[in-house]
Structure 1
Amino acid sequence: MIKIAVTADLHFGTRHTSGYQATLDLYSDLADNTPDILILAGDIGAGEEFERCLSLFQALECQKLVVPGNHDIWVRQGDERGDSFQVYDRYIPELCDRYGFHYLDHAPYLFSHEGLAIIGSMNWYDGSWGAEQLRLRVPDWQERLSSKRFSRGMHNDANFIRWDFTDQTFCEWIVRRFEGQLNRALDAGYQSLVVTHHPPLQELMYPTAEPRTLDELLWPAFSGNLQLEELSKKNLSSIPFVFCGHTHYARKCQLESLQGINVGGDYHFKRLVRLNWPTGELSEQTFGDAALNKKRPGRSHSPKSQVPLENR
């Protein structure tokens, strides 16, 4: 049996006092009950906090895997690490090598004897999850997608994702890379456990009720894409589990034999999902006070719209 543990959205650092303590508590639990595999599914820590977080988990005696999140590749003007793509494709992989983590965006992790591949991707968004409804209901929808402008404030990816891509061109590139890894694993006969940061399936977004507000229409557009969703649904029989984060809202779905899990941690509390393979036994733990999250999602706000703008 392979014991796998997945967490996401650690947003490491002492700036978020309760969340920092929750991460330390999560680490202590892992140290007491160490899995065979630990997966950090993105938004690990912005800037120098990313390395500090890897340093914390380095001591665990297990295989450690990483996919980055959008916060992990934020850069400022003149950032010595390079632009966001250089951080994604060079700087973070070098840190992972230094601290003993396997970077899933560069290569899957294979269990040849068990016939299991762990395929990972940061994943990205291209507006396709929200474009149809936005086109019908929001006159300036194209400008809002390009500027990432909400009813109040702006998505900070507009400020801190700096590269030569558009969302659409990067999304196409990263899905193509993921597809190549997935196809090679499937061609070799592996069952594939998929881990992304941005949700691969719309069923793993937070629930909303109609009529949706402007921000509730925009957040899905900045959370995923139809390309990777369709690829996943085309291979349901070979993907028993998908895990993701990003939305800060725990969610599950079942599509035929595929089980989807959005881990659902937030700034002030953290979550850990454990999976035993191949039995499929799942367990979930929460560290910190999740009750602070009870207001989410509200009728007038999406979950993330209640997070301070500087933290998006």
Structure 2
Amino acid sequence: MRIVITADLHYRPAHRRRYLAFAERIAGQRPDCLILAGDLGHPLRLFRRALELFEPLSCLKLLVTGNHDLYCSEHDSRTLWESVLPAVIQDAGFLWLEEETVQLGDLGVCGTMGWYDYSTSEPTLALPDAAYPLLKTLVNHDADYIDWPWSDRAMARYLARSFERRLADLEANPSIRRILVVTHMPIFDEAIPSHPECERLSLLRAYMGNLALGEMVRSSAKVTHVVSGHLHRSGRYCIAGAYREIDHRVIGVCDGLPETVILSFD
């Protein structure tokens, strides 16, 4: 079984030919499953265009959304999250991993956007958690274009609770031997760059991941692989779990196009 995972397309009509060639390269890999790990395009019409790139693929298609996909334009962020994006995803023939899990033989697939909760904040800054909502506008456009009524930490807790239930369902399924987790935002500190010499990058680090999800995944008996996006910087890490080592990949972006992670399972 071949699973191809990519993220951070940030679809732009001016580069449509390059995106079409990218989608053709993925099709040439003959995947049994394609997974998109968020930040596909905004506003909504470009999110749709990004999904249309993969319409020719007849394989199973899954996705999680990213923070950029929820930027308000013709719809506010709450409406996008609660109704508009789920309908667009379904109409495009994708399954939204925020709502369901998938079983492929003895492999379970579980995913979430994984909103940041400031757990990745740079320790050398020594700022209280209450400072990060106020300072976000200095380094992160989410502060300008995400207009839902929830705080970052409230959204992070909500997504974590839902993800925990889905992961527990896969853990309890005796026919599932291993689990692949896909997130938009990284969930392990090892993957998130640290720049204590730069105040701006140190502040930005607080909005890069969610380590509470990482601890949840580390304690899983069945998770073998985790793939994330968001950073635009590729990496591969061996994460110490409670039961086994976890293969963690972060999908990078090169010359304006995302890279891919290809996983093969017996």
TM over 0.5: yes
| Secondary structure at 1:194 match in 2 | strand
Query: Which residue number corresponds to residue 97 of structure 1?
Result: 90
Preserved contact between residue 72 and residue 146 of structure 2 (Cα < 8 Å): yes
Query: Which residue number corresponds to residue 194 of structure 1?
Result: 181
Preserved contact between residue 137 and residue 144 of structure 2 (Cα < 8 Å): no
Give CA deviations for 1:145-170 in whole Å, capped at 9, x if unaligned. 433044xxx41100110111000101
Preserved contact between residue 45 and residue 53 of structure 1 (Cα < 8 Å): yes
Aligned mate of 1:130, from 105, 112, 121: 121
| Secondary structure at 1:258 match in 2 | strand
| Secondary structure at 2:161 match in 1 | helix
Aligned length: 259
| Secondary structure at 2:12 match in 1 | coil
Preserved contact between residue 67 and residue 196 of structure 1 (Cα < 8 Å): yes
Q: Which structure 2 residues correspond to residues 122-271 of structure 1 after superposition, within 5 A?
A: 122-130=113-121, 132-135=123-126, 142-150=130-138, 154-189=139-174, 190=176, 191-206=178-193, 208=194, 211-235=196-220, 237-256=221-240, 257-265=245-253, 268-271=256-259
Give CA deviations for 1:131-158 in whole Å, capped at 9, x if unaligned. 64322xx6x88435433044xxx41100
Preserved contact between residue 184 and residue 229 of structure 2 (Cα < 8 Å): yes
Preserved contact between residue 134 and residue 141 of structure 1 (Cα < 8 Å): no
Query: Which residue number corresponds to residue 31 of structure 2?
Result: 35
Query: Which residue number corresponds to residue 103 of structure 2?
Result: 110
Tell me, yes or no, if structure 1 residue 61 matches structure 2 residue 54: no
Query: Which residue number corresponds to residue 8 of structure 2?
Result: 9
Measure how far apart 1:262 and its partner are.
0.1
| Secondary structure at 2:230 match in 1 | coil
Preserved contact between residue 113 and residue 185 of structure 2 (Cα < 8 Å): yes
Measure how far apart 1:213 and its partner are.
1.4
Tell me, yes or no, if structure 1 residue 276 matches structure 2 residue 260: no
Instruction: Please tell me the residue identity of whatever aligns with 2:28.
Output: D
Preserved contact between residue 3 and residue 33 of structure 2 (Cα < 8 Å): yes
Q: Could you tell which deviates more after superposition, 56-65 or 243-252? A: 56-65
Measure how far apart 1:226 and its partner are.
2.6
Give CA deviations for 1:199-253 in whole Å, capped at 9, x if unaligned. 11112223x45x4311222222101123112111112x41110000000000111
Measure how far apart 1:60 and its partner are.
0.8
Q: 1:181/1:267 Cα in 2 relative to 1: closer, same or farther (>3 Å)?
A: farther
Find the aligned partners of 1:173 and 1:117 in 2 and give their Cα distance. 22
Unaligned runs of 5+ in 1: 279-312
Identity across matched positions, percent: 30
Measure how far apart 1:33 and its partner are.
2.8
Instruction: Please tell me the residue identity of whatever aligns with 2:67.
Output: N
TM-score (norm: length of structure 1): 0.78
| Secondary structure at 2:90 match in 1 | helix
Query: Which residue number corresponds to residue 70 of structure 1?
Result: 67
State the Cα RMSD in Å: 1.9
User: Which runs of 4 or more aligned residues in structure 1 lie more than 3 Å from their structure 2 counterparts after TM superposition?
Assistant: 140-145
Find the aligned partners of 1:271 and 1:21 in 2 and give their Cα distance. 17
Measure how far apart 1:23 and its partner are.
2.6
Unaligned runs of 5+ in 2: none
Measure how far apart 1:41 and its partner are.
0.5
Find the aligned partners of 1:98 and 1:192 in 2 and give their Cα distance. 27
TM-score (norm: length of structure 2): 0.90
